[in-house]
Amino acid sequence: MAVKTFTTGEVLTATDTNTYLNNGGLVYISATTFTTTATANFENAFSSTYRNYRAIIELTASAGAAIYLRLLVGSTVQTANILSIQNGYSYSGGVSNSTRSDSYALFGGGFATYPSVYDVGIYAPQVATYTTLHGQYTGGRSNTDSDYYNLSARNIATTQVDGFQITTASATTLTGTMRLYGVRNA
């Protein structure tokens, strides 16, 4: 709906209030806090209520290993029909790199000794079409060394996915919070 402009002295009706409460662009769905875990699954996260989603994952600590985001159907990890690219830059190392994987959706991190953030869009996971993801990661190895990654992935199958997972693949400590939002269709 178009934005309504209220004027001085106008009565804010229940209808107006409910309309604006329901018409935010991003609608909070859930938050998960995890502490010193090797893997965190966010299952039954996607439904037909929203077509697109946004996940913000804030890591306050990890054991300093690569971190991966993978798609789930139930509790089953999807490792086939995935095409993903990560392109990144390490500040102190002065290194940019690009890596392709066919088995996980998004690479991230490297290290999260310092607070690190993933901001990921998940598009059409509950539609019988390809699921697309893209996002960004920024994290710190120290106060003089940061990592930046652009992340992009496609699930080139019409399988509807309903969740996702982050895993360290080697470390046993991931601590942080994932917050999930649905993007209103209209």
User: Does 96 participate in binding other proteins (rule CB under 8 A)?
Assistant: no
Name the minimum Å distance from CB 55 to other proteins: 11
**167 closest CA partner among 32, 65, 68, 82:** 68
Compare residues 113 and 146 and give the one whose CB is closer to other proteins. Answer: 113
User: The sheet that has 52-62: what strands, in order across it?
Assistant: 26-37, 174-183, 52-62, 114-123, 131-140, 146-155, 82-90, 95-101
Phi, psi of 123 (to 5 degrees): -115, 125
**68 forms part of the interface with other proteins (CB under 8 A):** yes
The contact mask relative to other proteins for 114-133 (x = CB under 8 A, - = no) is: --------------------
Give the integer Cα–Cα distance in Å for 46 and 131. Answer: 12
Compute the least distance from the CB of residue 10 to other proteins, in Å. 38
Q: Which residue in the set 18, 96, 99, 170 belongs to the binding site for other proteins (CB under 8 A)?
A: 170
Sign of CA dihedral 154, 79, 85, 166: positive
Using CB under 8 A as the binding rule, whether residue 167 contacts other proteins is answered as: yes
Q: Which is nearer to other proteins, 146 or 160 (CB)?
A: 160
Name the amino acid, one letter, at 67.
I
Q: Which residues are at the interface with other proteins (CB under 8 A)? A: 29-30, 32, 34-45, 47, 63, 65, 68, 75, 77, 79, 103-104, 163, 167, 169-172, 180
